[in-house]
Chain A
């Protein structure tokens, strides 16, 4: 499957400085991590040494290290240090496959394949990411009624919904054929109470579509 475009991987505030997480886009494994300077990065989730997932690794300063043998990669994906060979001038050929990364609408995005321009979205308050064990289209079909919207406007991997809490921006992540993630943000500023209500409605949506209750 060829994957081309910008895809949401996580809510911006879920990836704190100095941490990493795994995300899967249509079967493609991606690590998303944030360095201590606050910049987000999206790479192939694979250490070129032994194939270990980089998302199991650990972030220190401006590099991420593999959990297996501690190979350290800088923000350009280039291996800088191999702890077992501290004197070695690491060859340039040892690097992780990197993707473009951007933050918009309260989410972190990765540019995969022929991606084009980064998404432009209004400022938003991140609410929560929802992981659901159903096809993306099943979750999407049930989304408007769950948030009191009449429908949604799809813009590639984002759905805009005029909900009872204002304009929702929902990043759409197709993990595989039977699982997906919805990254939910509300445009502008939202109170904690509003965020809590949206988060609870989202959890009900997840539980209903997995139980086959919602259409």
Chain B
């Protein structure tokens, strides 16, 4: 199998999510860097032909083109390392993982929008986006608080899964759009645990030290 190609911009939150998780899964990617900001290269005719949504990341593997972090991550994991411990074998934990991955893609997507507005010149109402992102982060903080009373350290169960790795970037980068970590004690301690995942990597804005 040849390495899948990831059209990537290093400072994009979703590109980081895919790079970091691929690293944790031990999957090599061939990166094609796209000058998203300030170059707007993701909106070039060539890139729009690949992904008419005008977004990164894009994964290309032979004739397969995937444009959503959730589907990219699941496809890579299921086809290249289905036995990996980041994929739970327990069906209940697996279902919870998918639930929180969907939450990360949908409810938490607002964090990426808030960050793009704050940092990368994207249009948007930053105050409104920030308020929505705070609400989404609180839902995870509340959930992790309750998980803690059950002795469970991660969103789907006792061990780290793909869902935790998908939820990590919006929290780790929240200062980029004006939300400090002070108000999220459960997320703060969870993030320290998530960072211990084998193969974990950072991006600019996330310190190597913690």
Bound Cα distance A196, B209 (Å): 32
A72 to chain B, nearest CB (A): 12
A24 touches B182 (CB 8 A): yes
Contact pick for A10, options B146, B180, B185, B210, CB 8 Å = B185
B209 touches A199 (CB 8 A): no
Bound Cα distance A22, B150 (Å): 27
Contacts of B192 in A (CB 8 A): 16, 19
Residues facing B in A181-215 (CB within 8 A) are: 181, 192-193, 195-196, 199-200, 203
Contacts of B151 in A (CB 8 A): 192
> Residue-by-residue, is B59-78 near A (CB-CB < 8 Å gives 1, otherwise 0)?
00000000000000000000
Q: Tell me if B189 counts as interface (CB < 8 A to partner A).
A: yes
Contacts of A65 in B (CB 8 A): 209
Interface size class of A (residues with CB under 8 A): 20 to 34
B132 to chain A, nearest CB (A): 14
Number of residues on chain B facing chain A (CB within 8 A):
19
Q: Tell me if B8 counts as interface (CB < 8 A to partner A).
A: no
Q: Tell me if A129 counts as interface (CB < 8 A to partner B).
A: yes
Given contacts A21-B182, A128-B185, 17 further A-B contacts (CB under 8 A): A11-B185, A21-B181, A21-B188, A22-B180, A22-B181, A23-B182, A55-B182, A58-B210, A65-B209, A67-B207, A131-B182, A192-B149, A192-B150, A195-B149, A196-B149, A199-B142, A199-B146
A to B CB contacts below 8 Å, 29 in the list? A14-B185, A14-B188, A14-B189, A16-B189, A16-B192, A19-B189, A21-B181, A21-B188, A22-B180, A22-B181, A22-B182, A23-B182, A24-B182, A56-B207, A57-B209, A58-B210, A65-B209, A67-B207, A128-B145, A128-B185, A128-B186, A181-B183, A192-B150, A193-B149, A195-B149, A199-B145, A199-B146, A200-B146, A203-B142
Q: Which residues of B contact A (CB under 8 A)?
A: 142, 145-146, 149-151, 180-186, 188-189, 192, 207, 209-210
The 3 A-B pairs at the shortest CB distance, nearest first, are namely: A131-B183, A192-B149, A14-B185
